[in-house]
A and B are shown apart, each in its own frame.
Chain A
Amino acid sequence: MDEALLRSLTPTVLGILVRRGADFAAAEDAVQDALVEAVRVWPADPPRDPKGWLVSRAWHRFLDATRAEAARRRREERPEAAPGPVSSVDDTLQLYFLCAHPSLTPSSAVALTLRAVGGLTTRQIARAYLVPEATMAQRISRAKRTVAGVRFDRPGDVATVLRVLYLVFNEGYSGDVDLAAEAIRLTRQLAAAIDHPEVAGLLALMLLHHARRAARTAPDGSLVPLASQDRSRWDVASITEGVELLQAALARDRLGEFQAQAAIAALHADALTAEETDWVQIVEWYDELARLTDSPIVRLNRAVAVGEADGPRAGLAALAELDPSLPRYPAVAAYLHERDGDLATASLLYVEAARTAANVAERDHLMRAAARLHAHRPG
């Protein structure tokens, strides 16, 4: 059975139910039921028209569920909306907007998107985020209640959708669901539904980062920094697709932060060796990105790029303008001091960086760097 096909039909089927007058929360439950049934029934008895099968089954589920007296009264008072001449592309898009609605917290928006648009089960989402299934179920039903009053026919803000997809991508690959791959699938589906340079930019960014995934971790699970990665292990097909998407997006001259981030990733992808990296252009893109986002994290990364383009002293000067309490500031400072030959300072900073690291792989990487320079530490 083709689970990818099944899941790609989720938003279309849900959209059709909502167009027929089902309220979003009930329709979403009905579609989940239909998906679960499909997984059970299809292998032995594959339908000729998978979408039609799902719509019919979900619709019946919905009717069964709303047969309760109160619900029936509600439906009688509100005649079913006739299915208008609306394409499934629009339905899909509306679903993305609804699931990323600004009234939702980021974690609720992520959970709702993965279920209602992605067609994942509550159990899969719970496992991916390492929380109990009951907790995830509550998070999703709260999210549904939050958006219950939102009209389904108004265009939303694509930027909120992109932020949600970016969060999913950055969650990485813990659990049995590959969230990075799922984020790419959902962004690709969004790009098919809406023509927007930032959507293309985000898809390009994801593909370019995903291309390096195999090279990013050593067999023992430790982090391999960009400069030391075996570039022959980068996925050329992903890079090619990412670069083409990015070029087409940039040609439209509506720059946004995801296109700028993708441009930086593309410049790394373009270098056959770490030494061939065009750091001068990367710094220019960081300048662009800083103008677009005004994010201190961007300025921190820019300091690293400046250090590569103009030497560690220039990088340290750029760093000096930033707030030392920024996350990863000590790691950047340590790296630049090491490049500058001040191994004693670098060693101490690596210790501090390891102490304040937010994730295990990074902490271990920094701890090894600190240990490597231990002999240079002032006695």
Chain B
Amino acid sequence: MAKYLLLKHYRGGPAPVVDVPMDQWTPEEISAHMQFMSDYAGRLEKSGEFVDGQALAPEGTFVRYDGEGRPPVTDGPFAETKDLIAGWFLIDVDSYERALELAGELSAAPGPGGKPLHEWLEVRPLLTVPSPTVTE
């Protein structure tokens, strides 16, 4: 029983196996990809492992505090940020091995030609609350 974030990156991971941007796929290939994602979320819910799934807009703004009484400073958007997060699934599973297995499944989402994308996904454990008999 531990939660893991399966992070989907637009950029920033190891070199992609399939390097064709989605705007160059056919509309049917895009639909098949989206259908896969929604089926995947459905399977996670049925197996009792789904916590959350979200997609992020690619462009964001950097914001910081600029002192008492002043509006926050904003910067960006930066088109060329090295790392760019596309979205995530948050899962609650029995083991790290199960988290890897589920990430492997998600990575098989279809791309051009309906073939698996082999997309690199990042698996990050969430920090937990301390267990009374283990901590101290």
Binding site for B on A (CB under 8 A): 105-108, 110-111, 129-132, 134-136, 138-140, 142, 166-167, 169-174, 180, 205, 209-210, 212-213, 216, 223, 225-226, 261, 265, 297, 357-363
Q: Is the CB of A358 within 8 A of B128?
A: yes
Count residues on chain B whose CB falls below 8 Å from chain A CBs.
Answer: 25
What's the least CB distance linking B91 to chain A, in Å? 9
0/1 per residue, B93-110, Cβ < 8 Å to A?
A: 110000000000000000
Check if B132 is an interface residue, CB within 8 A of chain A. Answer: yes
Interface assignment of B68: CB less than 8 Å from any CB of chain A: no
Which of B1, B47, B133, B135 makes the CB contact (< 8 A) with A359?
B135
- Tell me the number of A-to-B contacts counted with CB atoms below 8 Å: 98
* Residue contact B125 to A138, C-beta cutoff 8 Å: no
**Which of A139, A140, A226 contacts B136 (CB under 8 A)?**
A226
Would you call A108 and B132 a contact (CB within 8 A)?
Answer: no
- The yes or no answer to B131 lying at the interface (CB within 8 A) is yes
Supposing A167-B1, A358-B128, A360-B127 touch, asked if A136 and B133 sit within 8 A by C-beta, the answer is no
Q: Which of B52, B129, B134 has the most CB of A within 10 A?
A: B129
Residue of A131, A209, A297, A362 touching B51 (CB-CB under 8 A): A131
Within 8 A of A (CB), among B106-136: 125, 127-136
With A129-B92, A358-B125 already in contact, the answer to whether A169 and B132 are too (CB < 8 A) is yes
B72 within 8 A of A: no
Question: With A135-B50, A135-B51, A138-B46 as given contacts, are A110 and B129 in contact (CB-CB < 8 Å)?
Answer: no
Question: Given A110-B1, A223-B135, A132–B51 Cβ distance below 8 Å?
Answer: yes
Q: Is the CB of A362 within 8 A of B130?
A: yes
How far is it, in angstroms, between the C-alpha of A98 and the C-alpha of B90 when the chains are bound? 30
Is there contact, CB below 8 Å, between B92 and A107?
A: yes
CA distance A107 to B99 in the complex (A): 14
* C-alpha gap A359/B128 in the complex (Å): 4
Q: Tell me, rounded to whole Å, the shortest Cβ–Cβ distance linking B124 to chain A.
A: 12
- Would A225 and B136 count as touching, CB distance under 8 A? yes
Q: How far, in Å, is B92 (CB) from chain A's closest CB?
A: 5
Q: Determine the distance from Cα of A265 to Cα of B132 in the docked complex, in whole angstroms.
A: 11
Q: Are B50 and A359 in contact (CB under 8 A)?
A: no
Cα(A241)–Cα(B127), bound, Å: 33
Docked Cα-Cα span, A170 to B133, in Å, equals: 7
What would 11 A/B residue contacts be, using CB atoms closer than 8 Å?
A106-B1, A107-B94, A167-B1, A170-B132, A171-B129, A210-B132, A216-B132, A223-B135, A265-B133, A359-B130, A360-B129
**Candidates A170, A213, A363; contact of B131 at CB < 8 Å:** A170
- Asked if B45 and A359 sit within 8 Å, CB to CB, the answer is no
**Chain A residues within 8 Å of B131, by CB:** 170-172, 359
Q: A361 and B132 in contact (CB under 8 A), knowing A130-B51, A135-B49?
A: no
* Known interface pairs A135-B50, A139-B49, A169-B133; 12 further A-B residue pairs with C-beta atoms within 8 A, sorted by A's residue number: A106-B94, A107-B93, A107-B94, A129-B1, A131-B51, A132-B45, A140-B48, A142-B47, A142-B48, A169-B132, A209-B132, A225-B136
